[in-house]
Amino acid sequence: MVWIQTYWTLSFVYVSIYLLLIHLGQRWMQSRRAFELRTALAIWSLSLAVFSVLSTCRILPQLLAEVQQLGFEHTVCDRSFFKENLIFSFWSWYFAMSKVVELGDTAFIILRKQKLVLLHWYHHVTVLLYTWFSTQELVPTSRWFILMNFIVHSAMYSYYAFKAMKFKIPRSVAMMITTAQLLQMVGGLYVNWWAHNALTSGRVCGTGVWNIRLSISMYASYWLLFAHLFYNSYLKKAVREKSA
What is the rounded distance in angstroms from the CA atom of residue 99 to the CA atom of residue 134? 13
CA dist 84 to 61, 63, 78, 143, 192, Å?
A: 16, 13, 11, 14, 23
Neighbours of 13 (CB within 10 A): 10
What is the rounded distance in angstroms from the CA atom of residue 170 to the CA atom of residue 172? 5
Helix axes 142-164, 86-101, angle to 10 degrees: 50
Neighbours of 216 (CB within 10 A): 17
Neighbours of 103 (CB within 10 A): 19
Identify the CA nearest to 147 among candidates 71, 218, 65: 65
What is the rounded distance in angstroms from the CA atom of residue 191 to the CA atom of residue 169? 33
Among candidate residues 120, 123, 196, 228, the one labeled active-site is: 123
At a CB cut-off of 8 Å and minimum separation 6, what does 175 contact? 230, 233, 234
* Contact indicator for 166, 207 with CB cutoff of 8 Å: no
The verdict on whether 196 is a catalytic residue reads no
For the chain, how many residues are written? 244
> Active-site residue numbers?
123
